[in-house]
A and B are shown apart, each in its own frame.
Chain A
Amino acid sequence: MSDAVRGGVLEDQIDQWRGFVRRRRAISPSDVEEMEDHLREQIADLGANGLDDEEAFLVAVKRMGNLGEVSREFAREHSHRLWKQLVLVPEAEDDAGGLSRWRELGVVLACALGAGLAVKLLFTSVDGEIAQIRNLAFVVLPFLAGWFAWKRRVTWRACAAVAAVAAVPALAVNLYPFETTPGPLPSPGMTAVLAFTHAPVLLWLLAGVLHTGGNWRSHERRMDFVRFVGELVMYLALIMLGSMVLVGLTFAVLALVDVDLEPFFEDWLLPFGVPGALLVAAWLVEAKKSVVENIAPVLTRVFTPLAVLMLAADLVALLVNGPLTTVDRGLLILMDAVLVLVLFLLLYSVSARDPMAPAGVFDWLQLALVGAALAVDAVALTAMLARIAEFGFTANKTAALGLNLVLLVHLVWSAWLMAGFVRGVRPFAAIERWQTAYLPVYAVWAGLVVLVFPPLFDFA
């Protein structure tokens, strides 16, 4: 064997060893470098004493010690390394300029500031509380969508298409001749409220198209958006919580000197803070994507068993104490809320599940959850259907019933697929695919409520 070949074998072995050590999270790359230098010195010394490369390598590795024990020792010294840390601004690379690594943060902050200015402009230039509220989503979400577009390098054509589609509900909520309820304090009618509440949902899903980078047909990208939304909600909640503490303390301290923060709070802090929090939370979620465990799926693990218990108790109570006393729109909305909760529990555990893993206890639990939710909904619906004819179909009732049906289809088919999966006749991927395949239905439904319901129900 020539020297070159022997050296190559040794290098391969050292490479392999380095790969093993690197997998230990407690041992940092610079530690690996330090230990590799040690290993090479040892091998050279042993070689000088007459051992061949392979023997020297084996002895040197043996002397280095059991990797598990060494790594535990490193972990004791550097325990923080076991906690994944979020690096928000990447370390300066040798070839990258100092400014470019701040670019992303700069764009996010610019978008946050833009959204704040837009909200401020909306509040100062548009008269009427209702006109302000119905346009809120239309002035904030474009900045988030714009940031998605920048981050994913979406083509201008895709951006223009999304903007054009988004303009339709924007025009509808502002130009439809909605009627207001008569009385001394006129408030928006049913169809107006429905349109105002459903438009943000539609807009949010459109922003999702840009989050997928325009590649919205891809099921993987759709699932990424679902994951993103789950984490965004968690981060937003945490940021809001922190902000409340901060604002509360500021209020209290300023009250000591009789300074009233409220005008500033309402005029500036809220219009800039809330959209800013949304953008910053979105940026954090994107930055942490692969670094920190997703929180939403962890919560679903905790709440799925509890939700099964809750729904089982509800079902028993409904069946024992029936028939239902008040059968109205409130009941339908309540059932919608129950189904949405179950849907989120299902969606977020599906989003984090390894599709290759075999069916386990948790999958059965989830099937039980969906089954219990469907049973509760069925009890409510049968009580409802008998009497819905006497009440007639108002816009609100139709919207609530329609959403219930949309959710029902989603959950019934999920339950069917899950039953197939736990019995081992269907792959898990089918369940996952159904979740993402069904997402556009919600956009279509929201679009219907915004665009078709008002003319259908005479803008009442």
Chain B
Amino acid sequence: MGPKSRMTLVLVLLGFVLCLFLERSGLLSAYVLQISMYVGINIILTLSLNLVNGYMGEFSVGHAGFMAIGAYVSSIITVRVFHNQMGPLVFPLAVIVAGIVTAATSFVVAFPSFRTRGDYLAIVTLAFNMIVKSVLENIDALGGPRGFMGMGRLTNLANVYAWCLVTIFVVRNLVYSNFGRAVLSIREDEVASNLVSVNTRQMKIMVFLIAAFFAGIAGALFAHVMQFINPRSFAIQKSTDILVMVYLGGIGSIFGSVLGATVCTVLLELLRPLGVWRWVVGPIMLVVLMICRPTGIMGLKELIGLIPREERVLVKKEETDVVTASN
């Protein structure tokens, strides 16, 4: 392990200590703590959707549907199966199972949508989101439209932080590999991608499953912060919020997703005094951004620290000048 990796490890551990300290010390109010956890959950959602929409260039619009599955599955496990016993022990398992079940469900969406080329995914995911919501509304055993409650407050800052790190780690390692390059090539030119021997269909399904897995994780964490979920919290509105975060932060960028999720979540809270008018701010921001900077704040760029060392390129100014001058 090199000195740099050791440094990263130390920073990660310090982050954990900080999380535990902030939570236990009572330095932060319950409200601020809750918002911090929302930020973390939104980072997971944004990053996973960015994998599909930003890196791969497909257009999935029903991310909240996957989140709902994760939320309900994990809640059923902690409340119905374990009756809120052994919470801290069962919870990590429940979160992972929620992720896996969500990924498995997403296969049902991915398989037919990626059979043919074109924009079917947007329509299919939109429909999927609506179906999930109405199915949940009609299952009385899960509370129907009244919602599902009884979950303990099992999510804490430390495990939101941990899952954020896992998401960032997986996305980064995936993106900076042969698979990541294949995913990017699908965005650039699918036909050419096929003709450099990328099995584009398989690749798309795989990426979609990974994205759904993390959406499920986020849903599970969300359910155990709120301690109450109802189908309405996973409507199209929620999916749109995640889309805004992705495109605001920047497509194809890990740091962009972190930024987008944080800015959106915090800003919406700060704007609370505006009442319903605060819902106007997000869309306006998005419109302005699409005009001024269509790829988002960090569009297609990455924070240097998040790029694996062997992939970093420090092009000197003069060199780039030479290239642009020769055009």
The answer to whether A and B come from one shared complex is no
Which positions in A face B, CB cutoff 8 Å? none
